[in-house]
Amino acid sequence: MNKTIALPYPEQAADSSLGKTAGLTLIGFGLLGLLVAAFGSGVIDPVLTGLGGITALTIGGLIYIWQRRTELSEAHQNNGAWTESATSRGAIAWVVGIVLTGFYILLYWFPDSLQGLTRAMEPLSQWLRNRPADQWFLYGTFYTLAVLVMGVHALLKYRNNRYHIIRTLSVMFFQLGFAFLLPALLLYLNQPEFYFSYFWPLKYDYLFPGTVSYLVQNGQALGVFMIFWGAVLSFLATPVLTYFYGKRWYCSWVCGCGGLAETAGDPYRHLSDKRRVAWRWEVAIIYPILGFIIITTLLLWINSWSEGRLLGELSGGFSSTYGFFIGAIFSGVIGVGFYPIMGNRVWCRFGCPMAAYLGLLQKHFSRFRITTNGGQCISCGNCSTYCEMGIDVRGYAQQGQPIIRASCVGCGICAHVCPRGVLKLENGPREGRYAASPLIKREDLNLLS
Ligand code: SF4
Ligand code: SF4
């Protein structure tokens, strides 16, 4: 694996520039405010410290990001990725990983311990949803802010690349609009909460009989539309869109998990495991998880139709096992908590059943591929280094072969970091999809006739 690209910083200003110091100071105050809100146990109003902390953290983060990204030219944006503690599994990375993992553990299993922070969200929750805040609203707010603030980071980092600007704006839009504001508005109008940008099998319970009957009973016509929307997106729109564009239409443009990975997780993309054994684990884990959720959904429906006579507690056991191990531990605790150690797409690569489903479609029924103009490749390895899915892009490029892999999320970073313009994301006709580009072989060189 190539660990290069830690070039000197010719045009970087001193680290103590005024803007960065101001940004870091505000971040410090913001974190302090959140700590006081979380553990102040009512001595100071958590709304004041909590919302003040979030505001300071957001503004400070934006100032720091602006300073940091604009002092580097477009070509030097990855400088330091392998040398700075925060992005090379150093002490800062471990601290961030432990804090994130700890937060997820509290969120899922000890929500009472987050009461201070949850109370801080009360005015915002009342204003947006007309109901009290809970830990999931707190989580949704933090998640959306992370995508938006780090989305600005990605916009500045890839500012010379139109594909990445539009893609980043897209994930910011879907997270803010479809995964935060719209569900809140539905609750405000006393309708069932629904996330229009998540579908089965990722949002696995949307096709469970319990959720279907809840939506029909509580949402009436709108509830029926929600079920219809989910089913159409899962079984019709997903194959059609994947046929034309590959899995990138969802994983890199719409999905909230992918949105977080492409924004907050972007500084960690080079940490993905590139070894062959990692690919073997990938295949051995992700497809059984897809099978698990298909079987669970079928069992729940059989149980529902037989009114519990056929399967008893079995289908419920499948459902709660999946929810605990995959829905909570894998997607949250490991999937996000381990960003700074294992890279930003651990969940998407090893655990997400939607990625598995999309991947099968992409590999076997899609027009999407990355073509490689192998004759231009200088084997620098940038592409493989920054592939968040651990694909050996360079290996394909050296042989002039198109990259048609189930796991590729079409983020396009390999093409962005390639200094020779070797790689191109394409949706051409399926005919000739596997054809390699002609390479100039040594024996073909004939300088003297
Ligand atoms: S091969 Fe390229 S487009 Fe695909 S996931 Fe890796 S970096 Fe992204
Ligand atoms: S395809 Fe581009 S980035 Fe990858 S090894 Fe070749 S020259 Fe380097």
pLDDT tens sequence across 107-160: 999 999 999 999 999 999 999 999 999 999 999 999 999 999 999 999 999 999
Question: SS3 for 373?
Answer: coil
Q: Which of 14-23, 159-168, 339-348 has the lowest mean pLDDT?
A: 14-23
d(CA 318, CA 301): 12
What do you get for the CA distance between the two ends of the chain, in Å? Answer: 41
Could you tell me if the CB of 187 is within 6 A of ligand 1? no
79 within some domain: no
Could you tell me if the CB of 219 is within 6 A of ligand 2? no
Could you tell me if the CB of 261 is within 6 A of ligand 2? no
Which one of 253, 393, 422 would you pick to mutate in the ligand 1 pocket, going by the greatest count of ligand atoms within 8 A of its CB? 393
Regarding whether 331 and 243 lie in a shared domain, the answer is: yes
Regarding whether 355 and 209 lie in a shared domain, the answer is: yes
Whether 339 and 98 have beta carbons less than 8 Å apart is answered as: no
CB atoms under 10 Å from CB of 187, counted, come to 18
CB atoms under 10 Å from CB of 188, counted, come to 14
CB atoms under 10 Å from CB of 230, counted, come to 22
Q: Beta partners for 424?
A: 371
Q: Give the ligand whose atoms come closest to the C-alpha of residue 386.
A: 1
Regarding whether 189 and 229 lie in a shared domain, the answer is: yes
Q: Which of 8-12, 27-31, 48-52, 80-84 has the lowest mean pLDDT?
A: 8-12
* Confidence grade of residue 409 (pLDDT, cut at 50, 70, 90): very high
pLDDT at 310 over 90: no
User: CA angle at residue 420 from 418 to 425, to 5 degrees?
Assistant: 60
Return the closest-CA partner of residue 13 out of 61, 55, 76, 57: 76
3 within some domain: no
Phi, psi of 327 (to 5 degrees): -65, -40
d(CA 191, CA 129): 11
195 within some domain: yes
Could you tell me if the CB of 418 is within 6 A of ligand 1? no
* Confidence grade of residue 445 (pLDDT, cut at 50, 70, 90): low
The residue length of the chain stands at: 449
**Residue reference for tokens 């503004």:** 59
Regarding whether 403 and 260 lie in a shared domain, the answer is: no
Task: Give the containing element (helix H, strand E) for 172.
Answer: helix 162-173
pLDDT at 377 over 90: yes
Burial classification of residue 92, based on how many CB atoms lie within 10 Å of its CB (0-12 exposed, 13-18 middle, 19 or more buried): middle
Distance of CA 268 from the midpoint of ligand 2 (Å): 20
* Confidence grade of residue 31 (pLDDT, cut at 50, 70, 90): very high
DSSP character for 441?
Answer: -
413 within some domain: yes
State which residues form the domain around 67. Answer: 11-73
Regarding whether 243 and 172 lie in a shared domain, the answer is: yes
46 within some domain: yes
Could you tell me if the CB of 394 is within 6 A of ligand 2? yes
Could you tell me if the CB of 382 is within 6 A of ligand 2? yes
d(CA 213, CA 219): 10
Say what the pLDDT of residue 372 is.
Answer: 95
Regarding whether 212 and 115 lie in a shared domain, the answer is: yes
Distance of CA 374 from the midpoint of ligand 2 (Å): 9
| % of the chain residues with pLDDT over 70 | 94
Could you tell me if the CB of 391 is within 6 A of ligand 1? yes
Q: How many domains does the chain have?
A: 3
